[in-house]
Amino acid sequence: MSSTPAQLRFKNPKIFVCDIQDKFRNVIYEFDKIVLTTQKVLNFAKALSIPVVTTTQTSAKLGPTVPSLAELLPSPPHDKTRFSMFIPSVVADLAPGSEIALVGIESHICITQTALDLRDAGHKVYVLADGVSSCNPGEVGVALDRLRSEPGITVTSSESWMYECVGDASHPAFKSLIGVVKGSMADTKQVWQSLPPGSKI
């Protein structure tokens, strides 16, 4: 008797990367740690061919996505003036009921508004606590506390989301997942030691 091949737990996973631009490097709390987490999830996305959506906020004034992330992006960012990533060019090809992991800045502005808009449009939203930040670290905890209370929005960690996405150690993607997790282990530990208390799960 042949066994049924393992399926990904998530049917339509996506990764949204919000406004991680070099102009913000010196004003966002632990900006470099957010970049490390985003690199990890982008490497995961590449290994599993998960679609990635990236935005920049008024790039003519605030510049492009940071180079270390830009080189990992499968397509150019969508530029926007709205705080939310929920803009026509982003949602045009978004499958209904997608499972969306959200990273970027700022937690209490663009991340919050994007999460609410995606949830209201029927998507499952996962805000990765180790992948979001703000200028003031206190804002991170306030934003994540609010989002935890919102139905349809889950605050979790990047590693938890990646494992949930795969869902089964017998899936062929599990080997790639382990490679990403092991390859970023030191960075992950460094990130969690640096983030504000409100970011803790």
pLDDT score for 2: 40
pLDDT at 52: 97
pLDDT of residue 1: 39
Domains of the chain, by residue range, sit at: 13-199
Which of 19, 33, 130, 165 is flagged as catalytic? Answer: 19
Whether 6 shows a pLDDT value over 90: the answer reads: no
Query: Pick the catalytic residue: 14, 33, 40, 110?
Result: 110
- Per-residue pLDDT for 201 more than 60? no
Q: Catalytic site residue 200?
A: no
Q: Residues 101, 14: contact at Cβ < 8 Å?
A: yes
| pLDDT tens profile 126-163 | 999 999 999 999 999 999 999 999 999 999 999 999 99
Q: Can you tell me the mean pLDDT for 69-87?
A: 96
Q: Choosing from 14, 33, 40, 80, which is the catalytic residue?
A: 80
Reported confidence tier of residue 8, pLDDT bands at 50, 70, 90: confident
pLDDT at 195: 78
- The yes-or-no answer on residue 135 being catalytic is no
Fold assignment, 13-199: Rossmann fold (3.40.50)
Query: pLDDT tens across 19-59, in order?
Result: 999 999 999 999 999 999 999 999 999 999 999 999 999 99
